[in-house]
Amino acid sequence: MSTRKPESAVSDSATSAMDAPAKLERGLSWRMLLSELGVAGPNCPSCGHGFEKMPQRKRACPKCSAILYSRKRAFDGAKSLLTETQARDDEAQGSLRSFVQNGGVPEPEVEALLILLHGQLGRVPTAHDVVAEILMRQAATHAEAWNWGLYRNARFNLAEALVHQGRREDALNLFLEVLLLDLNGPRNMGTKDPEIVRRFPPFDPSTAFLAPGAIGRAVDVMADLRLSTDEVEKRFISLDGSTEPLRGLPRSAVDAWRDLKRVFANVQR
């Protein structure tokens, strides 16, 4: 099973952070992509309505009906109220901060990526762009090492990142890919040694497990897109051989769909 790096996940239609700068110069920090989103206090960021006390969870503004999210924002950790768009941007900024500070992605590597993406996009990349590209690269690295369980996880995380960008069509395709991998029982090989691969194949359907989280997220996006079961089936079947890691799987998408269709039907009841 050969591998190739998937196409870039960045998109000009990706949601931009409110205060993204217009110019990027070599040597500037990834922190410039973090912005002071929302309102750090009990006021609606959409209409300014004041609450008696800080809301502690998602709710609608009683004045303008905007859906508000209450969370500690990535920029400075301040408890803030955010609109839905701001919440998506904050999620991406938090992921970027986590990658650098906790996720083992060296800061110089991230900042080199900023320069690269700036050249590719012709604009300053957003946190969404950077997070998606990091996940794409992680997936490619795992595929090259034949660590298919880790590859599967990176693709799932990329799907979540695309949901936060509002790219639900692309996200659903990735969630379905993850479910196809799950139904084939992906293994972390760490080697392409023929003897080891013969004894321990990279995919073993007898160990297949459909993660409830992946099923739930796929169903959520299917509902958002208002897709019928037949439309989802066509998408799923089209995955066969669509990328290198999906070629030569023990269970084809046609075969795996029979199981997945029953699971979706049970969840959607």
Task: Say what the pLDDT of residue 15 is.
Answer: 35
- Residue 147 main-chain phi, psi, to 5 deg: -100, 85
Task: Report whether 244 contacts 151 (CB < 8 A).
Answer: no
Query: What does the domain layout of the chain look like in residue ranges?
Result: 126-268
CA dihedral 44, 50, 54, 59 (to 10 degrees): -50
User: What tokens does 242 get?
Assistant: 């669509």
Read off the pLDDT of residues 46-66 as tens digits, 9 standing for 90 and up. Answer: 999 999 999 999 999 999 999
The span from the CA of 105 to the CA of 97, in Å, is 10
The span from the CA of 153 to the CA of 135, in Å, is 10
Higher pLDDT pick, 143 / 7:
143
**pLDDT for 19 beyond 50:** no
Return the amino acid letter for 73.
R
Q: 9, 44, 59, 55: which is closest to 174 by C-alpha? A: 9
Ranking 70-79, 101-110, 156-165, 194-203 by mean pLDDT, the lowest is 101-110
The span from the CA of 43 to the CA of 49, in Å, is 5
The span from the CA of 153 to the CA of 167, in Å, is 19
The span from the CA of 249 to the CA of 240, in Å, is 9
CB count within 10 Å of CB 184 equals 25
Task: Say what the pLDDT of residue 28 is.
Answer: 62
Written in H, E and C, the secondary structure of the chain is CCCCCCCCCCCCCCCCCCCCCCCCCCCCCHHHHCCCCCECCCECCCCCCECCCCCCCCEECCCCCCEEEEEECCCCCCEEEECHHHHHHHHHHHHHHHHHHCCCCCHHHHHHHHHHHHHHHCCCCCHHHHHHHHHHHHHHHHHHCCEHHHHHHHHHHHHHHHHHCCCHHHHHHHHHHHHHHHCCCECECCCCCHHHHHHCCCECHHHCCCCHHHHHHHHHHHHHHCCCHHHHHHHHHCCCCCCHHHCCCCCCHHHHHHHHHHHHHHHHC
The pTM is what? 0.82
Read off the pLDDT of residues 170-193 as tens digits, 9 standing for 90 and up. Answer: 999 999 999 999 999 999 999 999
- Residue 72 main-chain phi, psi, to 5 deg: -80, 115
User: What tokens does 143 get?
Assistant: 């595929």
